[in-house]
A and B are shown apart, each in its own frame.
Chain A
């Protein structure tokens, strides 16, 4: 009887509705695979609007969210769709995926600890609510990563262990092991760090992380000896007299790309393909910073940009005044920007969207650098480095006989390399801030006597800028 009524009034059976939704979904998948995003989005949106009770509605929302995240790079809009799945389709197949992607976005965009903690809570809820799905390994990796960022190292290791134990073939497993190596070192167990990285190399020899581990192990190898030894790398392209004209800054990306700034502009010392660089006026450039993802950034007088010219931060204002005499800047892992400005004469902190938050109250600070969620600032006297924690609170300082600090840098394990004594010396401190080495450049038989700036790469190699000699030297 029902079918007669349905037929008479042009109503469709639920099964018919599902079939129509399914056809739309199949079409959308085809369009998506062919790069016809507008057509795909139209079909997906129609499923969401017209067939919200079909088993395809949650999948459509997931695909739309995925589109905004991965194609449009619009995490904010993507988050709306993933949240809608969580709220309206909590028992659907897509729910674990929505939890994962939502936490993934939060991990990338969280402005502070609370954001990261919210991601942890979401992932824990997901692991408790859902069993037997394809997203558990990704969730465990994110939890491990979040644990490290929140300095909850026990949780970080625990989740990495669960991932390695339950999903040894997961694509996240090598990254989790690499991270576990870092965590082991950060918790003072350098031998465990070495063993973990060795296990990464043994079990996942073909992975990218296995190669990265070689560099990390180089750092650990160096610090495991009684004496830190560095040798000049004569093959480094910058190690040529007068190669540059008055170089004054050096920066190293996570992939090893070395940027050098001199009076003529920007130069790169790298064996790979040189990056595409767009700079309007090289005279505006003041130095380099490194994005949390590892990309090199330009610090200009009034902005921070990617190498291809895309702005990372611009139009920065403090109390209604435009900031346009930046001399130093760096970003932390929350993508907060720390700026030293000649007019402001203090360290200004901006959130990831460029809104001014506060100043750190370090008048006439000389320079600054970020490591994970902390920022380190050299005050006016140049004789110490002050550490600010994740909540921008002052947590300590390092002096240890340091005078006239010129510049400093961190390696991936948080070991600190300080160029001091007006650039005549380099002090190296381990993660516990014990002095591990002091290099006397002036009297050390090196090709330079005084350095202008310092950088350290992922393998712990030190880069020193010789302004007078027109060179940049690498020591490894």
Chain B
């Protein structure tokens, strides 16, 4: 046990030592200064000494480290006065010969010790360097001065530095110039003057941009972004061009340019990219006229297929107005468009092109309230089920704490897992407070002694029925598959070529059995014809016709003659398969699509299919209301049409034990000879309606 303790301790030490960085030195320094300012000033000495020792051991010091070192040496000199003051100040001067103690609130005696030391140890170095080719002899600025390889400062014309007395190697560098190197001897309390010339070895291209913040690329290679504002010396020339200095950037230099031809590219969001070709023939400093960027715009229209729906529109979380948005001006680029409707959100990633108007039809996504997994003595599966919910793309998912009594007045698990599998009045009140399209909760049960199950309940306020899926822990991925299935595209339409066909044994192609008088093949084919190829591809099965693309002209070879046919997009029934596709979720999604889909056909199909799903769920009244809604009409001469609606009306009547009404509805359905069920390739609704009448 003891060894374990020491092991942990050793591990901790190791961790502490690894973390000894500038931050910890800085904290030590603050503590030391505090101690220094207290009545226990002397106790701060070992603390400062530790800091000095630590920093002296480091191979390189940053600005903050150097500051702490200088100040620590200063404090040590003060604390050890008079005995060791000189020793610490000597160190301080070596660290920074330019250090000035005069302005500090220290005893004049102590300051004098420091100043005297500087007189003994430090001399002045006055440096001026000019361009050898510059006839005016103007001294260079912004050249870097190093003494013995250590950075001392930047030259600004004729510049003086304080340097330790003694022999040194001086090095002056500046982009586009050969370095200036010289051995020098600096005498204490004396000024040593260096005047030299440097020779240009490459060109320097200097730009200024209007506005600032422009990215510059030199032959495709990023050089940086212009910043700041124009130097005051350029004010007059800028003003003459109608530009204020604050509109323009500071000078931006591209250095090291050898003679040749180059392309410069200037980029800034919301501005047109500018290209400039330059040719450099000799090494020089070339300053260009300000590069003025031309602003560009893009526009976005946001509307919804449900014209009267209210919604607030956000672009990258910035509110830009309420629906409908017309020609909103912004700069080109990628944005997240969000529309907040009263009954849902619409979120879409949009790319706005320069000068173009992007039109978006917003449809709100249905919402899910997820109450999580309830455990009662049995542990939930390890999988991150919350994540599975959050990853849904076609839904807005809210994770609601079932214990949040402000939002949830009734235990949702009691409501969703009741034995009748029917939504109670309490469930409806839950919906009033949360106002979601779908409610989902899960609980862990041990239905068998050894096998755990996850029961997942789904309920939409659009149906009375609650569906509970029971998923064996060993097949828990099935829950993920279930969630993915409600997230995927819903095939609400289908292409249709306008004929029924069949494959006959030992016959090439498919035989035409029936041609719809209102379909794309009307007048082009008759019963008994053979379709042998589609767009040059041999066809040998009727299912191949199902995969044609609606609206796309297609070459169909009929009895050896090629004709162009455009398949129609038609309404399709969504298969009702509760085992693999949760009907409650589908109803919730179809409700939104029926209101907001941009395509009228999708809207019709969504409404029709939502009512179908309600019918299959046993919500006959709700289904009937849609099938018999005078405003909802499917006025097509083919496929799922008004006849199909009458057929479903009849089925609702039958389920409601209203046989006379059912007979009438089926009678109406039989008046639509081209109406179908399932999809336009499905069985004739008239034929099925007659079969239903015979059953009554």
- Residues of A that sit less than 8 Å from B by CB: 19, 22-23, 26, 154, 157-158, 161, 164-166, 168-169, 191-192, 194-199, 201-203, 205, 213-215, 217-218, 221, 224, 459, 476
Residue of B504, B528, B546 with highest tally of chain A CB at under 10 A:
B504
Alpha-carbon distance A396/B315, docked complex (angstroms):
83
A218 and B505 in contact, given A158-B695, A202-B543 (Cβ under 8 angstroms): yes
Q: Cβ of B542 and Cβ of A202 under 8 Å apart?
A: yes
Choose the segment among B5-13, B24-32, B121-129, B681-689 that binds chain A (4+ C-beta atoms closer than 8 Å).
B681-689
Bound-state Cα–Cα, A393 to B618, Å: 48
Give the Cβ gap from A143 to chain B, nearest Cβ, in Å: 13
A205 contact from B449, B501, B513, B543, Cβ within 8 A: B543
Chain B proximity of A168: nearest CB distance (Å): 5
| Set of chain B residues within 8 Å of A203, measured between Cβ atoms | 543, 678, 681
- From A158, A169, A205, A214, contact of B577 by CB (8 A): A169
Across the two chains, which residue of chain B brings its CB closest to A458?
B505
- Other-chain residue from A191, A202, A224, A476 in contact with B506 (beta carbon distance below 8 A): A476
Distance, CA A165 to CA B688, complexed state (A):
10
Residue A202 contacts which of B514, B576, B681 (CB distance < 8 angstroms)? B681
Residues of A within 8 A of B57 (CB): none
User: Once the chains bind, are A214 and B503 in contact (CB under 8 Å)?
Assistant: yes
- Hey, which chain B residues are within 8 Å of A154, CB to CB? 691, 694
Q: Cα distance A26–B505 when bound, in Å?
A: 49
Q: Which residue of B is nearest A164, CB measured?
A: B683
Known A19-B449, A165-B677, A202-B546: A221·B695 in contact at CB below 8 Å: no
Asked if B511 and A168 make an inter-chain contact with CB atoms under 8 angstroms apart, the answer reads no
The answer to whether B577 touches A217, judged by C-beta atoms less than 8 angstroms apart, is no
User: Across the interface, which residues of A come within 8 angstroms of B682, CB to CB?
Assistant: 199
* Contacting residue for A199 out of B506, B577, B616, B681, CB 8 A: B681
Shortest beta-carbon distance from A52 to chain B in Å: 19
Contact of B46 with A by CB under 8 A: no
Closest to B580 in A: A169
Given A168-B576, A199-B682, A202-B500, 16 additional A-B pairs, CB 8 A: A26-B448, A165-B688, A166-B576, A166-B616, A168-B678, A198-B513, A199-B683, A202-B681, A203-B678, A203-B681, A213-B502, A214-B504, A218-B506, A221-B511, A459-B505, A476-B506
Asked if B272 is at the interface (CB within 8 A of a chain A CB), the reply is no
Which residues in window 351-407 of B have CB below 8 A to A? none
Give B514's nearest chain A residue, CB to CB. Answer: A195
20 A-B residue contacts at CB 8 Å?
A: A22-B449, A158-B694, A161-B691, A165-B688, A166-B576, A191-B513, A195-B500, A195-B502, A195-B513, A199-B683, A201-B542, A202-B501, A213-B502, A214-B504, A217-B503, A218-B506, A221-B504, A221-B507, A224-B528, A476-B506
| Interchain CA distance A26-B451 in the complex, whole Å | 10
Q: Interface readout for B503-547 with A: 1 if CB under 8 Å, 0 if not?
A: 111110001011000000000000010000000000001110110
In the bound complex, residues from chain A placing their C-beta under 8 Å from that of B576 are: 166, 168
Name the residue on A nearest B682 (C-beta). Answer: A199
Contact A201 B541 (CB under 8 A): yes
State A19–B541 Cα separation when bound (angstroms).
54
List B contacts of A164 (CB < 8 A).
Answer: 683
In the assembled complex, the Cα of A196 lies from the Cα of B691 at a distance in Å of 15
Report the separation of the CA atoms of residues A26 and B448 in the bound assembly, to the nearest whole angstrom.
Answer: 9
Asked if B15 CB lies within 8 Å of chain A CBs, one says no
Smallest beta-carbon distance B233→chain A, Å: 81
Instruction: Find residues 640-696 in chain B having any chain A CB closer than 8 Å to their own CB.
Output: 677-678, 681-683, 687-688, 691, 694-695
Q: B260: shortest Cβ distance to chain A, in Å?
A: 66
The answer to whether the Cβ of B103 comes within 8 Å of any Cβ in the partner chain is no
Cβ of B232 under 8 Å from chain A:
no
In the complex, what residues of B have CB within 8 A of residue A205's CB?
Answer: 541-543
Asked if residues B502 and A192 are in contact (CB atoms below 8 Å), the reply is no
- Quote the shortest CB–CB distance from A381 to chain B (angstroms): 38
